[in-house]
Amino acid sequence: MKKFLVLGILFALPITAYLFFASGKNNFAKLPILTEKVEDITAFETNTDSLLTFDEHISVVAFFGSDLEKIKGNTFNLDKKILEKYYSFNDFQFVLVLPSETKEETTAFVEEFKKISESSKWKIAYGSSKMIDSVFSSFETPHKLDQNSYSPYVYIIDKDRNLRGRDDDESHGMIYGYDSRDVAELNNKMNDDVKVILAEYRLALKRNNRKNRS
């Protein structure tokens, strides 16, 4: 009986491993660069005393405008389905880019959300509509901001300020950003892609450490 059990495990393990690895299309490839060197946000006000920058960070960036209800709903989806899994990773940050006039309202909202989320780890960049338009335009996506500087899409920016996404998605072809209203898209495509870029940097770090020791 034990012999059959061992043989069964030995037979099943390779198949299980293959199915796991094959389940994520991007799991072992680099996430494509879609736009190089987007504009930085160092000139923006922040919700902390520290300078806010995309440099040397893996950033999830949202432009959620001045409508507090949209900010609440979209941010809650994003926080629960994506962000709370990754806050513990070094150099990972969630950046909300918002109009300056929302500062008082969003400060209260962040405090309120501390009861149910990791809102203390959110980084908020406040700027004029002109400043926000300039940064958003530098992403060079097909998406548009509305009159309140809002877009439902969120973006992945790497440590070199490059916009990452998909260039051969089976449904959309190109994915520049991920729809924060769509829980399935966050759960599946965005979650997979954040894993890919974090794994990419971890692998690069391990290689550098090995080189330094040799």
* pLDDT of res. 22: 39
* Closest to 168 measured CA to CA, from 70, 7, 34, 67: 34
DSSP string covering 168-201: EETTTEEESSEETT-HHHIIIIIHHHHHHHHHHH
Residue 8: per-residue pLDDT: 53
**Domain annotation for the chain: domains and CATH numbers:** 28-213 (3.40.30.10)
Query: Strands 92-99 and 58-64, how do they pair?
Result: parallel
Give the containing element (helix H, strand E) for 98: strand 92-99
Q: Is the distance from CB of 55 to CB of 40 less than 8 angstroms?
A: yes
Residue 17: the pLDDT is 38
Of 86, 76, 65, 71, the C-alpha closest to 156 is 86
Q: Is 166 exposed, middle or buried (0-12, 13-18, 19+ CB in 10 A)?
A: buried
The one-digit pLDDT tens for each residue of the chain (214 residues) are: 555 454 455 445 444 433 343 344 444 478 999 999 999 999 999 988 789 999 999 999 999 999 988 888 889 889 988 999 999 898 899 999 999 999 999 999 898 888 888 888 899 999 999 999 999 999 999 999 999 999 999 999 999 999 999 999 888 899 999 999 999 999 999 999 999 999 998 887 776 666 566 5
pTM over 0.75: yes
Query: Which tokens go with 17?
Result: 């491993």
**For position 118, what pLDDT does the model report?**
85
Instruction: Give the model's pLDDT for residue 151.
Output: 97
Q: What is the pLDDT of residue 16?
A: 44
